[in-house]
Structure 1
Amino acid sequence: MTEEPLAYRARKWALQQISAVTKRPNQHDRLTETDWDVLVILDACRYDALQRVTNWPVDRCRSPGSATGHWLSECEQSGVLEDTYIATGNVNYANWDVGAAKVEHVWEDYWNDRLGNVLPNPVLEAANDFLDDGNRPVVAHLLPPHAPYVAQVGDTWIPAFPDIDIWRRNPGRKDDNKLSPQVAMASGHVDMERAVAGYHASVESTWEAILPTIGEWVEQDLTVVVTADHGETFGHWRDWKLYGHPNRVHVRPLVEVPWIIFEQAAPMVDNSVENVQEKLEALGYVD
């Protein structure tokens, strides 16, 4: 298999060593402290990318992992997903035991060969099946916006970055010519400007695809948390000149991920005169 350029490998190794000392993850602590019913994981979704495409206020947290396998190993250690019901489009769950009550491997039946991805709806439907059966809490791990980047046009999902075929054709290549996504990027085989545009299109389409279902869950008085397992990098200086999501590199573009809580507002039952005044003040009607 074609290897990464030596200078890139050295930089990545150095960042792995340094960032391992300075990492300060808080995502799992926040999950433990939050009484959530549904957890939606957007694979490889950067905080700043989601903030860019949504009008919703997006908070941030620090993931303990910079790649899905790394994140799942941390889940295994922290126990944050113990006794949950997981619907996942990511095959990595087959390699880890996070202590879930049940894992529905949606990718087994809904892998899209044409797109090289698992679309959001089958994962959301599997999560709904768990909820309909009275199971709580539920985790829906979507594969987009993870590469290959896909986006929705009308009711159809299409490649948001057709050049991604350099990765999807890997199985047919000779061993000495295979290119992983990270190697393809680091070696200059990918138009990074187009890759970034495709990624943002995928983030936006994925966000728009999940909102109706999240609305239904909130209407059912469920508390929904949206976050990500890790981010993505595109070789910019602010990305530490990294590409993709290398393992165990705790730098901001890879571990700073979204944190959004959707929940019903608590009802106000005090209709006294004093409470009316409080409501007026809350609306800005004060002298």
Structure 2
Amino acid sequence: MLPSRYNLTNLRRVVRDPRRLRTEAAALGSRLNRAVAARRHPPGDAVAIMDEDWDNCFVLDACRYDLFAERHDLPGELRKVTSPGSQSLEFLEHNFAGETHHDTVYVTANPFATRLDDGVFHRVVDCFADEWDPDLGTVPPGAVADAARAARERYPEKRLLVHFMQPHYPFIGETGRSLDSGGVTGHVTGQAKTDEPTDSIWDRLAAGDAAVSTEAVWAAYAENFDLVAECAADLATPLGGKTVLTADHGNLFGERQWPVPFRRYGHPAGLRVPELVEVPWHELPADERRTVTADPPEQTDDVASDTVRDRLDHLGYA
């Protein structure tokens, strides 16, 4: 069913305004593409990560399957699975909303974790509140790894779900920081900070901005992956037990959608196309397993709502 704004009066106005016509055509095309994609990759076919066999699950944010397969050098077995979401909040809602996993501690750099109800996990460790790097506009992977080590020591009989923000934008490596946009909203630009928002790098790519190329952004994205993959590999051994690496969703780099052939960038919600919902599932070898028990949930410290909004804004979720 079409939105209510597509009535005869509004359609006449749109036809008389070329700019509005293009905007409405794009919105309608996106709606059609989402509907078609949802039929090809329904959420019901997605992996339920909490039902899988692991002691530690590392979630790499916005990591495409092909990026992981091409660049990782980890031992173990890799397979392709389907995520229930094309964006982090969808991933969290489909996997955790309305459930209880009191045998698990969730260590996360993703601010969307605050949207989950209390009591889903035994404990939620919010790295994005205290470990946020204002110069990078994100939480670096080392800070998440340190929090995971501390959680392992404090909760020796719990599964650990560890959610890194990389390879998600902003790009924190040498190549990425040299690009003209270091933060999604322009709060970080190159090496200099500014409080004035600018177009996101995905908007600039979509607009054909000559100062930004898809190849350069992919290189920066791959660099982000290398940084988080190295950190995750170093973390697996001291945590012990069986570790898997996966992703909450992927990322578009100008792939044309079907049946309306728009090029899309980033990871819009509700668009279930392979580049967004096909993600890695890599199991590292494990010689021993952890004894896991469930206990009543602990109180998670509240994070101020304006802090959450600021973090999401920098990550492109405003």
Where on the TM-score scale, by shorter chain, does this alignment land: which range? 0.7 to 0.9
Secondary structure of the 2:268 match is: coil
Aligned residues: 252
CA distance in 2, matches of 1:97, 1:15: 31
Alpha-carbon distance in structure 2 between the residues aligned to 1:36 and 1:128: 17
Aligned to 1:96: 116
SS across alignment from 1:114: coil
Deviation at residue 8 of structure 1 after TM alignment: 4.4
Aligned-pair distance for 1:36? 1.2
Contact 2:202 2:265 in 1 (8 A): yes
Structure 2 residue ranges without an equivalent (≥5): 1-19, 188-193, 289-318
Say whether the 8 Å CA contact 1:161–1:198 is kept in structure 2.
no
**Residue 191 of structure 1 aligns with which residue?**
213
Deviation at 1:96, TM superposition (A): 2.1
In structure 2, the residue matched to 1:255 is 277
Task: Give the counterpart letter for 1:13 in structure 2.
Answer: R
Structure 1 residues 194-273: aligned runs within 5 Å: 194-217=216-239, 220=240, 222-237=241-256, 241-265=263-287
State the partner residue of 2:179.
162
In the TM superposition, what is the alpha-carbon distance from 1:73 to its structure 2 partner? 1.5
Q: Which residue of 2 aligns with 1:9?
A: 27
For 1:86, the equivalent position in structure 2 comes to: 106
C-alpha separation between the residues in 2 aligned to 1:19 and 1:159?
31
Alignment deviations for residues 149-194 of structure 1 (CA, whole Å, 9 cap, x no partner): 222x6xxxx74552224734258337xxx53454333223442221
Q: Secondary structure at the match of 1:150?
A: coil
Q: CA deviation at 1:247?
A: 0.2
Alignment of 1:119-198 (within 5 A): 119-133=140-154, 134-151=156-173, 159-160=176-177, 162-165=179-182, 167-170=184-187, 172-173=195-196, 178-189=198-209, 190-198=212-220
Residue 110 (structure 1) aligned with residue 135 (structure 2): no
* Dislocated runs of 4+, deviation >6 Å: none
Aligned runs of 1:40-59 on 2, under 5 Å? Answer: 40-56=58-74, 57-59=77-79
3-state SS, counterpart of residue 131 of structure 1: helix
- State the match for 2:309 in structure 1: none
Write the distance in 1 (CA, Å) between the matches of 2:270 and 2:101: 20
> Post-superposition shift, 1:28?
3.4
Aligned equivalents of 2:97, 2:128: Cα separation in 1: 25
The alpha-carbon distance between structure 1 residues 85 and 254, as it changes in their structure 2 partners (threshold 3 A), is: same
Match of 2:56 among 38, 43, 49: 38
* Residue of structure 1 in register with 2:302 after alignment: none
Q: CA deviation at 1:18?
A: 1.4
Distance 1:81 1:50, change over 3 A: farther
**Deviation digits for residues 87-127 of structure 1 (CA, Å, limit 9, x no counterpart):** 11111111222711211110111111111111111111211
Supply the AA of the counterpart residue of 1:208. Answer: E
The answer as to whether partners of 2:176 and 2:223 remain within 8 angstroms in 1 is no
Secondary structure in structure 1 of the residue aligned to 2:48 = helix
For residues 55 and 181 of structure 1, what CA distance do their matches in structure 2 show?
Answer: 29
- AA aligned to 1:169 is G
How large is the RMSD of aligned CA atoms in angstroms? 2.8
Distance 2:114 2:98 in 1: 18
Aligned residues with identical type, % of pairs = 26
